[in-house]
Amino acid sequence: MSKIESAMPQVLVRNKNAKATAGHRKALWRSPTFHIFFVLVGMSVFRVSSLALASRDLLDCAGCLGKQSLVFETRFLFIAASLHLLGNLFASKVPRLIARLLVCSLLLLYAADLVLLKELHVRLNLQEVIQFSGEHAAISGFLMQLARNAPILAVLAIVFGIIFLRYLGCRHWQKQSPMFALVGGGCVVVAGFAEPVNYHLYYLQNPIEAFFQTATRSKPYTPAFKEHPPVNTRADGVCMEGMGSRPNIILVVVESLSMYHSKLFSGMNDWTPEFDALSKNGRRFSNFYANGVTTEQGLVSLLTGEPPIEKGWEDANNIFEQFRQPSQSIPRMLKTLDYRTVFLTTGDLGFLDKGAWLSDIGFSFVEGHDAPYYKGMKRFQFEAATDDALYGRSLRRLANMQASSTAPVFMMLETVTTHAPYIDPVSGNISQESVFRYADHALGDFVRSLESRGFFNNGYVLVMGDHRAMTPASAQELSAYGDRAYARLPFSIIGNKLNGEIEQASFSQTDLLPSLRHWLGAGSQCLGSDQGVFLPKTEKTPACIFTRRSYAQNNVYAQCGSDDYAIQLDGDDTRFVGTTPGPASLLQEVHALRFNQGFRPDIAQINGH
């Protein structure tokens, strides 16, 4: 036999193996299983890369958040892979279908969480899914806006749907070794021990951990605890005489206005030059705090004078339901003083029944995005017209009110344009800087219009944010303000004869109600130790300020002078967490607030002085 003849079988075998390998590779690329995990890994890589970029831009560290997130991403991918492999251990179709449905559900969960994190800087959480499940108009409006801004997402949704159907309908299966699932599960456990802990854990967690995070803040009290709550032993309150003033007041609550937007307040970005110029000639507060982390929580703090601490009621799905019957409110108080109260916004008042709540707490006139004035105007996020439109509507409403009566006016304006995803109405671009520059110019025009109409002869405009922007705190902010950066806000009062005063004492949104009551009311006004009065000037500072954090939503943070305490809301077991336990009276104050008792001054102690 010649050498050629003897080599032929080997060549044939090699050719056969090469064809088999090529066929296997082709089958792999066409495999629905490969496609589904390619999508999962792709989204994971995108999220890690986004966090790495964010850490470079915000924290001045090269990719530190991206590296830390690898632990959580690895855990998520192993869970998905283990589910797929476990399904393949069964010859029956039903267990395999269930396992693959779970894998598809994880992919949908990841995609939804990624979109929310990218567009609104929030995570998808089970409790909030339940809370917002009935808000069909808001959800559909958000999705429509998203599709308009990023059409590629609609294409990706169609591609995902095709991949899902092919993956679920794939009949090919291969019995895998149980060791793969065991190794995957082991890696999940091991990855847990490497979990980093820092301020940004909220953004680092994978979608499963974020979605199923235990919401202890909603845990109700037991009947026994309700029957015998702890006695509130907070320090002395104080009483003072009201001043009986009668100015017109416009409160402008600018969506997400934060310290880092203002050069004057923070020395960081120069995105609000008009607001800064107005503040220089008015009275500005350099240590002012938001009590919550959402618009709803900001409204509760401002209008009820209480921090937005969940009451722990089982039948209340959102913060407005929990504060449906507050112990006091600004519009109710002003009604007794013959003020006419108005709330205007371009937002949807049907969202979480906000409009009904505002009426319930006493506003005599409430108007939202469906007002005839906005008909035909271009709409942006949440179907809201622009800030310019809101200010135009408020000027018309104010003129009509002042023409029909001499009674003083309290008007509250809630803007929407600067809400994430930060769509600039002028250019249509998504840019936080551009949209705040637009909002700043609109505010400047509004104040100039008020001035030309003589409003400031007996009127003041108060401008503040509803909460800090829903973005991770930057290295600059954390260096300047510490952890309090997550609650700090710019606040200014604009009016005649204020002369650029800088108020350095610490106040928060909850102090607006007692301040207005002192300034506008008459007779004796009594306050608790944790309430402050800053109108028309500083009369009393709060002993402690209660704030929240977006990265730890089960906690309440008490700022008492230079001391900071963290309290975890957990029903009967509400407690201090962290290395610094605070005084027992702080816990008692939190319990009293959750039992709807408000900040209650110890009148007996006051009378004894």
Question: Between 18 and 91, whose confidence is greater?
Answer: 91
Domain ranges of the chain: 31-213, 238-310+319-456+464-608
List C-alpha distances in Å: 521 to 16, 53, 96, 601: 94, 52, 70, 18
Q: For 507-560, where are the alpha helices, taking DSSP H only? A: 512-520
Q: Which CATH architecture has domain 238-310+319-456+464-608?
A: 3-Layer(aba) Sandwich (3.40)
Is residue 146 over pLDDT 90?
A: no
pLDDT(153) > 70: yes
Comparison of pLDDT for 117 and 110, the residue scoring more: 110
β-bridge mates for residue 238, sequence order: 527
Q: What is the pLDDT of residues 382-414, one digit of tens each?
A: 889 999 999 999 999 999 999 999 999 999 999
List alpha helices for 60-92, DSSP H: 64-87
CA distance 135 to 355: 14
Q: Strand 283-289 to strand 507-508: parallel, antiparallel, or no bridges (unpaired)? A: parallel
Write the Ramachandran bin of 211: left for phi over 0, alpha for psi from -120 to 50, otherwise beta: alpha
Alpha-carbon gap, residue 487 to 557, rounded angstroms: 10
C-alpha distances (whole Å) from 222 to each of 77, 326, 567 are 39, 22, 19
User: Per residue in 444-501, pLDDT tens?
Assistant: 999 999 999 999 999 999 999 999 998 888 889 999 999 999 999 999 999 998 988 9
Q: Helix, strand, or coil here: 287? A: strand
Task: Tell me the backbone φ, ψ of residue 435, rounded to 5 degrees.
Answer: -70, -35
Residues 166-176 have pLDDT tens digits of 888 776 555 44
Residue with tokens 């794939």: 170
User: In this structure, what token pair is assigned to residue 223?
Assistant: 């009947």
Pairing between β-strand 524-527 and β-strand 238-241 as defined by DSSP bridges: antiparallel
Residue type, 572: D
Quote the CA–CA distance of 25 and 325 in Å, as a whole number. 66
Element (H or E) spanning 433, and its range?
helix 432-452
Backbone phi, psi, residue 576, to 5°: -75, 140
pTM of the predicted protein model: 0.85
- Cα separation values, 3 from 8, 9, 11, 12, 408, Å: 9, 11, 12, 15, 110
* Residue 344 β-bridge partners: 367, 413
pLDDT at 195 over 60: no
14, pLDDT greater than 70: no
Neighbouring residues of 416: CB distance < 8 A, sequence distance ≥ 6: 255, 345, 346, 347, 380, 381, 382, 384, 387, 390
444 CB neighbour count, 10 Å cutoff: 16
∠ Cα 407 408 412 (to 5°): 135
Token readout for 194 is: 């490497």
Structure tokens at 400: 């009509």
What is the torsional sign of CA 111, 112, 113, 117?
positive
Q: Could you report the per-residue pLDDT of 574-602, keeping only the tens digit for each?
A: 999 987 888 999 999 999 999 888 886 65
Q: Which of 439, 431, 123, 384 is nearest to 257 (CA)?
A: 439
| Token digits of residue 395 | 């000027």
Query: Of 573, 594, 576, which is closest to residue 584 (Cα–Cα)?
Result: 576
> How much is the mean pLDDT over the chain?
85
The packing angle between helices 151-169 and 32-59, to 10°, is 140
